[in-house]
Amino acid sequence: MSDIGIRRQALVERLHHLRGQRVIAAMSGGVDSSLVAALLHEAGVDVIGVFLHVWDYVREDNCRQGSCCASEDAYDARRVSDQLSIPFYVMDMRKTFREHVINPFIDDYGKGRTPNPCERCNRFVKFGALLEIADQLEADYIATGHYVRRCDDENGVHIYQGSDHHKDQTYFLATTTKKQLSRIIFPVGDLQKDQTREMSLAYGLKTAMKHESQDICFIPAGDRASFLKQQNAMAGFVAGDIVDQAGHTLGRHKGIAHYTLGQRKGLALGNGPWHVVALDAKIARVVVAHPEDAFITQVSVKEVHWLHAPSENTDVYARVRYRMKPALCKLDTADSDTLQLTFDTPQKPTAPGQVVAFYCRQDELLGGGTVLATNR
């Protein structure tokens, strides 16, 4: 048996305890969730494929960029479900997605914040509304293609970074509640991405070599400003000054919606490089600083959810950007609603509205929250 065959057998055996139980496979039409459905099916699980219709895409704007439209993704998910002979449903989540993802996204950019729509989608749609659907379908669990590892013991559910650290998605689950995570499984968390494709090819899945989009799902072309204008969200497009930290005017801009904290490209300023360090929505001002002055040491965090709250002796690491390595920090309670973290070493800036993920030993997810403010 080949190495990929041995690994596939091990993953299926790990799912045998779910034999006969009903599990919802959250199918996006991509290779990861397709493989999840295949593994569950082979393990003897009563698996139902569900595709969440969250947004009506404009084909001319999106598909020409190489991303699939919602109808094509749903079609691919249905093809895989038919291939596996499992039931398949398309669920209309547009209203929920608009309320919990799109509207906050628009509101945040108008206020100079940088929202994280993927985190909100996980919290309110995939692991919020979808769990309600699971109850309606009398399913015990939801299974997703996230690159996350789950281990259970007498202390409950433990979530670890995926084996493929380049694809690890624990950061986007940091604000998911303990109750939600108790009913979510992640069958591909132990795989590398190339192994996922190899295994999908071994199954003969029709999505095995499908292109993977890196964009926000409702902005596949990556043009955030155009999307906001299409939504008539004009609060972030008031022209104003670009200034340094001393208040000296360095240039003009066409709206704070074009910028995010930490941004260094597209500023078109002399004597650089520069980083965006503040956005003042009230007076439409963008504040920049040289790299050595842009680093932060403190972050105020709101809406904190703990999977496992750290003890006083636990070394806590924080991740305030998706691609950063978790960094050692100290935690203090600023007030009943806010947590203050202080990094041992200065970090590249993050933005209000982004996610903070907390870890111990740098790989176990402890919980997370939302950035309220930063200090240098």
- Which residues are catalytic, by number? 121, 217
Other beta carbons within 10 Å of 361: 11
Helices marked H in 30-166 — which ranges? 31-42, 59-62, 70-84, 94-97, 103-110, 117-120, 130-136
Q: Which residues contact 335 (CB under 8 A, 6 or more apart)?
A: none
Q: Which of 369, 374, 358, 376 is nearest to 159 (CA)?
A: 358
Bridge partner list, 143: 25, 185
- Using DSSP, state whether 99 is helix, strand or coil: helix
Pairing mode, strands 141-143 and 22-26: parallel
With a CB cutoff of 8 Å and minimum separation 6, the contacts of 153 are none
Task: Report the Cα 143 to chain-centroid distance in Å.
Answer: 16
